[in-house]
Amino acid sequence: MHAYVPVAPDSAALGWSLDVEQDAEWLLLSIRPPDREFPPACPKTLAAEVWALLTKRNLKSIVLRMQFVRFLNSELLGQLVVLHKRVHANGGICRLAGLTVENQQVLQIAQLDGRFPQISNAHEAIAGNGSR
C-alpha cells in the first residue's frame, strides 16, 4: 500500500512531506525536506508525527528512506534519535536507508552509526541486514 500522507501543520509550514508505504510488519517512510532551503529547518514534531503514523497502523517497525535528505543537520538528527528510542522502547525496529555518503559521515561523526547502520535500501533494511 502506498500513500501520500499530509503532515502536521508544523511540518507543512516548513515545506516537509512524508511519502508512506507499508507491508504487513513495516512502515516505509520517505522523508522529503523542502527544496527551497539548504539546510532546511527540521520540524520539531517530526518524531511525534512518524510515531503517530506507526501507532495508527498498529505497526512497530519502520524504515526511514533518507535519499531525499541532502543534509542531515542536528535538528533532524535529534528527531531521528527521539524516534529511534521510542520505537525500540516499544519493541520495534527503526532503520535508515538510502543515506548519502556525506550523511553517513555525519552519523559517524555524531557517533550514531552504531544506532543507525548503513543500509542501502528499504528491502535490505527489512531483510535484516544491519543491526537494530
pLDDT in tens, 9-61: 445 556 788 888 888 899 999 988 887 656 667 778 889 989 999 999 999 99
Asked if residue 25 lies in contact with residue 59, where contact means CB atoms within 8 angstroms, the answer is: yes
Domain that holds residue 119: 2-127
- Specify if 44 maps to a domain: yes
- Specify if 69 maps to a domain: yes
- Specify if 78 maps to a domain: yes
- Specify if 132 maps to a domain: no
Q: In angstroms, rounded to a whole number, what is the distance separating the alpha carbons of residues 23 and 10?
A: 28
Q: What is the CATH number of the domain that holds 65?
A: 3.30.750.24
Name the domain count of the chain: 1
- Specify if 13 maps to a domain: yes
pLDDT in tens, 96-123: 999 999 999 999 999 999 998 778 877 7
